[in-house]
Amino acid sequence: MTTVLIADDQPLQRLGFRMLLESQDDMTVLGEAGNGTEAVRMTAELHPDVVLMDVRMPGLDGIEATRRITATGDRTRVLILTTFDLDEYAYAGLRAGASGFLVKDAQPEELLSGIRAVATGDAVVAPSLTRRLLDTYVHHLPTTPGPSAPAPEDPRLTPLTDREREILTVIGMGWTNTEIATRLHLAESTVKTHVSRVLAKTGSRGRIQAVILAYDTGLVKPS
């Protein structure tokens, strides 16, 4: 059973989500939050598998609420809901630790499958879309020092082997596991093992955070 907390300041929106989720045999709604502060508090109390997180809410917004929830290290995962495809708030939410994003006008089946994917540790945003997302909002990335002041290597990269660094780089380029296996001449099971180790060693909550890390550390350059 996947447990869900709905965070949205629109009562009718929350009702619609609740009716949809509770129509499923494998999902249950633990509660509803009308703002970010309530979402953080209720997550700490209820420990849902997934928080459906609206971005624009009064007081504490969904981005900061996501950041606070993921910072606890709890198993709860956050699925950001946005009004527009590639909304800049979705990018900010992913950087805050969300496991994915969906637009609010997504089909019910998309929302349900997205919740199930996030609950099992997968990313909702397909790898082929993460590059487009990050390239669109790459101006949000911190400015890197010039040649006269080279930046020290990010400590999150230090534990990686050469192969794992290569895997992180191609994850950042949006390659799927199948593409990695084909292009690097590896068994797909080996790729999955490498990806799992990269996520663990870098402290990435999921594939999306690994993509962001690849950009942040300069392993992947915006096109």
Compute φ and ψ for 76, nearest 5 degrees: -60, 135
Residues facing residue 75 across a β-bridge: none
CA angle 130, 165, 118 (to 5 degrees): 40
Read out DSSP for 158-219?
TT--HHHHHHHHHHHTT--HHHHHHHTT--HHHHHHHHHHHHHHHT-SSHHHHHHHHHHTTS
**Average model confidence (pLDDT) across the chain:** 85
Read out DSSP for 13-81?
HHHHHHHHHTTSTTEEEEEEESSHHHHHHHHHHH--SEEEEES--SSS-HHHHHHHHHHTT-S-EEEEE
Asked if 202 and 216 touch (Cβ cutoff 8 Å), the reply is no
What tokens were used for 36? 């970010």
Question: So what's the pLDDT on residue 206?
Answer: 78
How far apart, in Å, are the Cα atoms of 18 and each of 14, 70, 80, 137, 147?
Answer: 6, 23, 16, 32, 53
Q: How large is the average pLDDT for residues 112-139? A: 68
Q: Cα 127 to the chain's mean position, in Å?
A: 11
14-67 pLDDT per residue, tens: 999 999 999 999 999 999 999 999 999 999 999 999 999 998 899 999 999 999
- 127, pLDDT greater than 60: no
Question: So what's the pLDDT on residue 52?
Answer: 96
Round to whole Å and give the CA distance between 127 and 109: 20
Q: How large is the average pLDDT for residues 176-191? A: 91
- 87, pLDDT greater than 80: no
149-168 pLDDT per residue, tens: 455 678 899 999 999 999 99
